[in-house]
Amino acid sequence: MQKKIEDLVAKCRPYTKKGEVASYIPELGKADKEQLAVCVLDKEGNQCQAGDYSQKFTIQSIAKVAIFICCLLDAGKSEVGKKVSFEPTSDGFNSIVNLETKNKHRPLNPFINAGAIACITLIKGADPEDKFVRVREFVRKMSGNSDIEVAEGVYLSEKKTGSRNRALAYFMKSSLIIKDEDIEELLDVYFKICSLSVTVKDLANMGLVLAQNGRTPAGEKLFGAETARTVKATMTLCGMYDESGEFAVNVGLPSKSGVGGGILSVVPGRFGIGVYGPSLNKKGTSVAGKKLLQELSREFDLSIF
């Protein structure tokens, strides 16, 4: 597989020219558009990495997977279901339109920005810092990397420019999806979680835990099979926002994208995959990263469908 993924990185790298790095969070605009990396891990501990795999980048919306798992563990599925549903969206990740018109004001799913912000209210913690630490520790455990920290520059950049997320959160407060929380404090937790700095190997490890229904490669049980099923199903239907359908057809793996350029993919029972390519399409997905996953899925017949 090592030789094959090196060839695929070379084949897909030209696709980095087709997109643009995220600029609505100014600090993300500094990324090198031509970078591309992949890591594939299996449960026996075998790893294949290719391309710019040492590059660190911010986890961004991929952290919504950890937020979702933490709130399922802390509050249970039925409480989570009062805050968000588990339905796909035909709108972008930061869209506000459905909050007023659909679903009794609940965000459609936990992976759009509104859904993740609402889910943070259910995470256990005496104060906002506790909630942040709960999710950071969970990301560290899932990735097997206890050194994961916030990229301070990206965090401050998003905090300064995050008006759309403020709009979403205040709208949800007006419709009582968010009740007692201070919005600025809540968003501070969200911005910090999105700014955790990771590598493709960290993402692949997180994917491997989902592939193994909640168990780390060392055998520690972080969550149960029912939670894993809920999360993988939601990733399949909602993880790539309004291109989840096309992604299911062409890649066919439960996945989550982030505007930092990462994508986490799960091959149930077999592999965790992390890719990185900061050049994004209009949906906020790595263009070359998506192409790489498509080729990988075809080459090794990985689609779950």
Q: One-letter amino acid identity for 134?
A: R
User: For 146, what's the count of Cα atoms within 13 Å in the CB-facing half-sphere?
Assistant: 0
Interface mask toward ligand DON for 204-243; x: CB under 6 A: ----------------------------------------
Enter the DSSP assignment of 54.
T
Of 131-139, 174-182, 252-260, 297-305: span binding ligand DON (CB under 6 A) = 252-260
Distance CA 282, CA 243 (A): 10
Residues 46-85 that bind ligand DON (CB under 6 A): 60-61
Please say if 198 is a catalytic residue. no
Closer residue to ligand DON in complex, CB, 86/111: 111
Q: One-letter amino acid identity for 245?
A: G
Residue 157 is a binding residue for ligand DON (CB under 6 A): no
Closer residue to ligand DON in complex, CB, 64/215: 64
Which residues are CB-neighbours of 298 under 8 A, at least 6 positions away?
none
Closer residue to ligand DON in complex, CB, 213/294: 294
Interface mask toward ligand DON for 171-200; x: CB under 6 A: -----------------------x------
Closer residue to ligand DON in complex, CB, 94/143: 94
Residues engaged in binding ligand DON (CB under 6 A): 60-61, 93-94, 113, 158, 165, 194, 257-259, 284
Enumerate the active-site residues. Answer: 61, 64, 190, 241, 259
